[in-house]
Chain A
């Protein structure tokens, strides 16, 4: 049979085969992560080991790179069922009533997982609970097998009392469970809660669990044990988990100073700074000095306007080509009026789906996210960083940090001459 004809999708500018005017199968867009079957990530670990922190962060990352992911916090199910938390006694291993409720919650959560992965087109679900016994993990594993999901365990092991104490202060004291308690009461109760789990805790074992796929994180990332990574998405998850850290730091995002083309209302190009743009650069230098930031790294794109801005700071900076502004293709250096006049269809399409819309011979926000992934990964590795970039780029980075979905990303407000200072706090 002859090769099928190709038609170009007007929004994304991708070539698709069609039969009788309808898009046909056979070709898939390589998103960043192609998952063949859904994956359930199962968290494992005693309370206050960072499971929820990891769950939320991982979920945020996977969604940002385009893998539909959702987390299911069993503790939340428990809070919905048992309206008022009384004390750690709920978690005692011999509390029949407690055990029954907790199992019920786990099963309810798994049911929602099934709905998300099998009916709602989710690709990855994160099951956030202690899952400290082999028996519980068996149950979950069987559930996955029955439904055709892959299982990947993420265990967090930590014995450092300081880390645990810090976790409790950061996220437990403010929990709805302890809304009526003093800090001391809450801490005492929570420590007893942890004790309830300790006796039955069965850590992932090199021999007993050798056929499972998992990563064991020791001491907040000092070392890792990785077993049987099965596919691309698991490999990406492992890479991500190995690059994140919890050292306090701040990330500063801003755009270049106002450029000559900004003044004319033209997009793209590689212009230099306007007079006001240069003033901004000087103010930025002053601001950075006042902030007194320890070991600040400065990153720019490879476009003149960000480099000029960085030059005013008088400190070493690194240029990343991948931080360049979105490529507007044939619309480069045009004003929006000119675009509307010359390419009315394009102009309309862009407003329809700004995230996926790709300029002819240019890029889309979706392309930008893929291009920026190494930046995000390196931002995770680093500590204090100032990123001087561009409007579309900054929107993508901001969406990652603030967990904004694709629909909102292209409309995030990133005005010129404004610095956004991001500091990780609790789960966000």
Chain B
């Protein structure tokens, strides 16, 4: 990293005054961090921020963003992950530093494709919006001054002259408020939304925006600058990726899954092969149901499908012996003879179970991995149906699975908004007849485990009269269910922070 003299100054400042570099709880992330950190901190900061952004995504689709439920939950997550959570005026140095550094690390990981950039931008915007709103008026004023957005506050004289027009143009402001609040002269292109709806006074090509509306404009500015920054970062990526320490980590972050890895098979041996057909309809997520069906129909699956489905079956408790029997029986019905199976396919299955080669026990794929890597081509049945299927075909499939039409519409809306996991969650809710899935879906095996829990009566099913939009009631039902269901063994949770690097590299 290059050191400019300004950075050196900041370096010196860091040694002395800890508060100086981060005078506010939020920032525009315009200056990258210039200190040195350990690889461990690099990883953990990045993973924590990724967790945070995923929560932001989930909350953003499940709750009204300005509502109390959203705010409380987001604040709780911020606290848990040790990010700045209230517009604390006092010393919050560590949290702010973490915020700063983790943002820049994720930029490296998420600048690489249009889809990743869009996702990152959306979540960072939502996070910024939440934080900006949490500022008190005076802190907000200070922040704007500090950030020095080129919005000039108009003079008292001018404001008095225009006070009547300002009052008439700005809904929600009484005359007295007009007199006390600060107004900013802003270019039309910065105030597009206010200007188009005539919610602001304009004159000579400028909009006169009160402090209370300035956040939309600030957000717009933030989006533009972050978008530009991401594009620039993408261009300088090759040089960063050549750093061997960083490359695997960065690749990983953008495909990363941060939860239990289902390599611990609590239910080993509890599934019998005769049940699989029924289970595929009741408890499999759509991707696995699709794979199972294709396997039964074609008596074959290609490599991508064998991996995705095979590891899933391992995760739900199929033993190696069962797996070999299962696949062999099916493949023999097709074009494969027993001998060929034993020589070729069997080896690969044993490999998955860690009985061959490097003997790594491979972990079942997470949703993120399925959605983002190895897209299916013609003749493939793997991938995520919500991501990879043509919406028309998806619709037909859902209809054939007796999903009610309103449900189908909701799912397609989520798919259109690229919320694939949320679409799957909705599918879960509809097929299990529950109002609220009660957990954040990240992994097909998690889907299976939760489904089994419901079906075996291990979880209370609460049904409210109006399902959509009643966040208060949603709040109640959330409390009775664990929002993060994880397997009980504690040693896997720490290891499961990131999917095994080795596994990641050799699986494909």
Indicate, yes or no, whether A interacts with B. no
